[in-house]
Amino acid sequence: MKSTIFTVCVLVCAFASALADVVTLKNGDRVTGTLVTVKGGTLTLKSDILGTLTIPMAKVATYSVEKQVAVVIKGREPMVGNLELTPSGDWNLKTKEKTETIPAAQVDTIMPASDYEKLVVQAPSVLHAWKGLASLGESIQHGNQQTNTFTTTINAVRERPAAPIFQTHTRTTFNFTTLLSHAAQDGSNVTSHTLSSNLREDFLFTTANFVFGIAQLDHISTEGLYLRQTFGGGFGRDVVKNARTTFSVLGGLTAQHEKFFTGLSDETLNALIGETLGEQVSKRVRFDHSLNVYPNFTQTGQYRFDTTNTLAIKLFNKFSFTTSAIDLYLSNPPAGNEKNNITLSLGIGYTF
């Protein structure tokens, strides 16, 4: 019985090994694993025993991939087929139609065809593939004045393909803020509502540089603003982008239409200067910041800006304690209205 179990285990291990890809190094060593990617002169494998391995292609003598792969080629359409490394360091790709030798210098990325299809071919619905933080907060005060303030913030990003392994891809950023406040004292009631939404679509034409389009809607009662519509675009750059820190700058032009509660309305042309920062301070602490400044070209000397700062401290699972500071500023509101709309809030956030 024991020998039978041993034989079965040996056969299972042998079968699993046969399904895996085998890499032979120039020093004679052999490594077994499953292909993750080949990019930037580095082969990444996933091994059940050793975990994720990264091997410089300069050290690889032979390598063939059992399953079909997608090869992203510079200046050409991606190709799908069976792949094998040649002694010269180039790649032989066998498709349904032919076998072709592809110079290594022309290859941008190699990955399993099934993974490529999930990233690129299968487009998600509008509500899927987003990553970000949604938070809710409320404050209640009872005394000479009774106040109730409810806040909501959503900060979300979606990249297509889902992993930015390709030089050219798109990125969508969505931000939404609400502040609903009610105060009562001696029979008098004051209600203040703020709603601000911002949607930005980036097209990255290199690993760091992008063009963007932006659309923003604002309703800020403390500034006497009934509705502001902002549309525009420009250029941006990811100055820093790694596992811990992202820092981007952007600049462009926007057209703006404003309507105030007084009935006054205007249409202006504005510049846009902005920056965003995301910092994973530790495993449990994250800080996010954004600032957009809009100098007014039509009414010179006037401007507005909006800035958001959020600190999230992980509590358990996907839930966090959040604290936010939001400032929406308009230099020339109608008489009797505030220039600054500043919100400080504490709440519970959910990471998705």
pLDDT of residue 123: 66
Provide the token pair at 231: 């549309």
Q: What torsion, rounded to 10 degrees, do the Cα atoms 206, 209, 214, 218 define?
A: 140
Provide the token pair at 112: 């399993």
3-state secondary structure of 244: coil
Composition of the chain by helix, strand, coil, percent to 5: 10, 65, 25
For residue 108, which of 147, 141, 76, 139 has the smallest C-alpha distance? 76
Half-sphere exposure at residue 271, Cβ-oriented, CA atoms within 13 angstroms: 11
Angle at CA of residue 146, ends 140 and 148, nearest 5°: 35
pLDDT of residue 137: 83
Q: Where in the chain is the domain with CATH 2.40.160.40?
A: 127-351
pLDDT of residue 121: 64
Q: Convert 143-178 to b/e letters by CB count within 10 Å (16 or more is b).
A: eeeeeebbbbbbbebbbbbeebbbeebebbbbbbbb
Cα 81 from Cα 104, distance rounded (Å): 16
Mean pLDDT in consecutive groups of 10 residues from the start of the chain, 352 residues:
42 44 88 87 86 89 87 82 89 87 88 81 71 82 65 87 66 90 73 90 90 95 92 96 91 96 93 95 93 95 93 92 90 88 86 90
Cα 169 from Cα 221, distance rounded (Å): 38
For residue 21, which of 58, 62, 55, 66 has the smallest C-alpha distance? 66
Model confidence, pTM: 0.70
pLDDT of residue 199: 95
Half-sphere exposure at residue 9, Cβ-oriented, CA atoms within 13 angstroms: 6
> What kind of architecture, by CATH, is found in domain 127-351?
Beta Barrel (2.40)
pLDDT of residue 75: 74
Maximum CA pair distance of the chain? 92
Contact call for residues 85 and 118 (beta carbons, < 8 A): no
Cα 220 from Cα 242, distance rounded (Å): 36
From the CA atom positions of the chain, what is the Rg in Å?
Answer: 27
Write the DSSP assignment of 330-348 as a string of letters.
ESSPPTTS-SEEEEEEEEE
Q: CA end-to-end span of the chain, whole Å?
A: 50
Supply the DSSP symbol for 163: S
